[in-house]
Chains A and B, each alone.
Chain A
């Protein structure tokens, strides 16, 4: 295995829909999944200065077909995206889908098969098709969402015997972190509060985020003068997997994202400068995702090392980082694994505000999985979207002061495919 791209690869266009609920959210209410996806695709193609007929192939990602009900996505969406008669495939890597798509596209372009590939992802985790209607939708229950989502988890032995994402991905990792670094449960809780404040601050500055209300404002609205009292309220923020609370977790969303992958020398004529896709790493594992130490995940280690080697970067080169943060504590462990944060210091960095857009270790400035929201197969593309905006200086009020030159995006595709993408300024 050479682990190298034979051509320089660029992302010449990115697009992303508002994340939220197709039944309730302003800008989304009443939108069909076809139109939702088309919005993200149009933004990406416009950004690249192309039409759907200018691309050679389309990689269409969608993980939870139970709610979207658009398998054969490439053809079903082709007349909504202007991509008729292109090469195409429907694929999924769960919550890493769009960034695995970017890696597949990069390989196809670097191999000389295609010049330009459109990658998009769509997902509806809050709503599903109502009966047999072509346009009406209805809410998905919490239990139904997890039944469908957990179909990506060990169906022979894990799920049938009581596997539970909340304890496996949150509570047990949190306890492992506290034990390893000698952190008290009280300090852990305070750190999680501060981290959530940061994510919600970022969401409040992002018009596409699922939750755009700061944690402090929500606490005040609920009658709390001290937001930490709101945080510790069993009514508003219960333990879902002790010692992890509800507001340290993902929020579900409907949404879509898209990107245009092309040869770097062809990435001209777009609205904005292209960004180089310098490297990627992918590694997967079945349960259990970690050994005796819940803070160390071997497949993430391999994905990080592979991506950094391909891109020729070191941890000190990272200017902006997103790690998959369905579980805030898991995201911190991965950030430490990349070397962006010191081992055992991630939560202290969160408490000190260093992970904010205006801190010295900015992370997840779109709001992450909690505030920006999570639409499984579309979300990795939103992480890349945010990184590209930051690298172009287009992130508005949440813009990092020193425009990042190297960005690293890590995602966990359930369950689990660790995926790391390295972007660089051209």
Chain B
């Protein structure tokens, strides 16, 4: 058995957080900006002086489209076609992610588009091999 200790990884930590329903990011001590998902450096100003934070999971759906079946990636074959959204997080960052709670049909997507922005709540979508970020429409 190896005695070499494993180095911390922002990527592993992010996905481990997702599996526990925690949404990990970093904030910058220089400019205050968020980087989500997390890296080791501020995406806004390039500073390395960053600290880990947990996001609220509250967000707003700005726009929603869908994808094709079969999916571009085998991981998502079982759920394709799925809805994919353009999202503004409560903390500020813009992200794109899978949207739950609406059908991937032109009729449903058009009705959603005509509604305008709607509130979302983050949750973890457990795929066969990986927990992934998703947002559910708050009804």
A interface residues (Cβ-Cβ under 8 A, vs B): 142-143, 146-147, 150, 156-157, 159-168, 170-172, 174-176, 178-179, 185, 239-244, 286-288, 290-292, 294
CB-CB nearest 8 A-B residue pairs? A171-B65, A146-B72, A167-B65, A164-B67, A167-B84, A161-B132, A157-B37, A175-B63
Across the interface, do B72 and A165 meet the contact criterion of CB distance under 8 Å? Answer: yes
Across the interface, do B95 and A175 meet the contact criterion of CB distance under 8 Å? Answer: no
Across the interface, do B96 and A241 meet the contact criterion of CB distance under 8 Å? Answer: no
For A242, what are the chain B residues with a Cβ–Cβ distance below 8 Å?
65-66, 106, 109-110
The answer for the CA separation of A292 and B117 in the assembled complex, in Å, is 12
The answer for the CA separation of A97 and B97 in the assembled complex, in Å, is 29
Across the interface, do A168 and B94 meet the contact criterion of CB distance under 8 Å? Answer: no
Across the interface, do A166 and B67 meet the contact criterion of CB distance under 8 Å? Answer: yes
Which of A150, A160, A164 is the one whose CB lies under 8 Å from B84? Answer: A164
Q: A239-B66, A288-B94 are in contact. List 8 more A-B contacts (CB 8 A).
A: A147-B73, A157-B37, A161-B98, A166-B68, A167-B66, A172-B64, A172-B85, A172-B86
Contact A160/B130 with A176-B86, A288-B94 known, Cβ cut-off 8 Å: yes
Q: Please name the residue on chain B nearest to A162 by beta carbon.
A: B98
Q: Please name the residue on chain B nearest to A163 by beta carbon.
A: B96
For B31, what are the chain A residues with a Cβ–Cβ distance below 8 Å?
none
Across the interface, do A160 and B95 meet the contact criterion of CB distance under 8 Å? Answer: no
Interface residues as binary, B64-99 with A (CB distance below 8 Å gives 1, 0 otherwise) = 111110111111100000101110100000111110
Contact A294/B132 with A143-B70, A161-B98 known, Cβ cut-off 8 Å: no
For A292, what are the chain B residues with a Cβ–Cβ distance below 8 Å?
62, 88, 94
Across the interface, do A288 and B95 meet the contact criterion of CB distance under 8 Å? Answer: yes
Least Cβ–Cβ distance between B127 and chain A, in angstroms: 9
Least Cβ–Cβ distance between A189 and chain B, in angstroms: 10
The answer for the CA separation of A291 and B87 in the assembled complex, in Å, is 9
The B contact surface, by secondary structure, is mixed
Across the interface, do B94 and A150 meet the contact criterion of CB distance under 8 Å? Answer: no
The answer for the CA separation of A185 and B113 in the assembled complex, in Å, is 10
What are some 8 contacts across the A-B interface (CB < 8 A)?
Answer: A160-B130, A161-B132, A164-B67, A164-B72, A171-B65, A286-B43, A292-B88, A294-B63
Least Cβ–Cβ distance between A165 and chain B, in angstroms: 7
For B67, what are the chain A residues with a Cβ–Cβ distance below 8 Å?
164, 166-167, 240-241
Across the interface, do B97 and A291 meet the contact criterion of CB distance under 8 Å? Answer: no
Tell me whether B26 is interfacial, beta carbon within 8 Å. no
Contact A168/B84 with A157-B14, A162-B97, A175-B113 known, Cβ cut-off 8 Å: yes
Across the interface, do B63 and A172 meet the contact criterion of CB distance under 8 Å? Answer: yes
Q: Please name the residue on chain A nearest to B88 by beta carbon.
A: A292
Least Cβ–Cβ distance between B7 and chain A, in angstroms: 15
Least Cβ–Cβ distance between A101 and chain B, in angstroms: 28
Contact A294/B97 with A143-B72, A166-B67, A172-B63 known, Cβ cut-off 8 Å: no
Interface residues as binary, B110-135 with A (CB distance below 8 Å gives 1, 0 otherwise) = 10010000000000000000101100
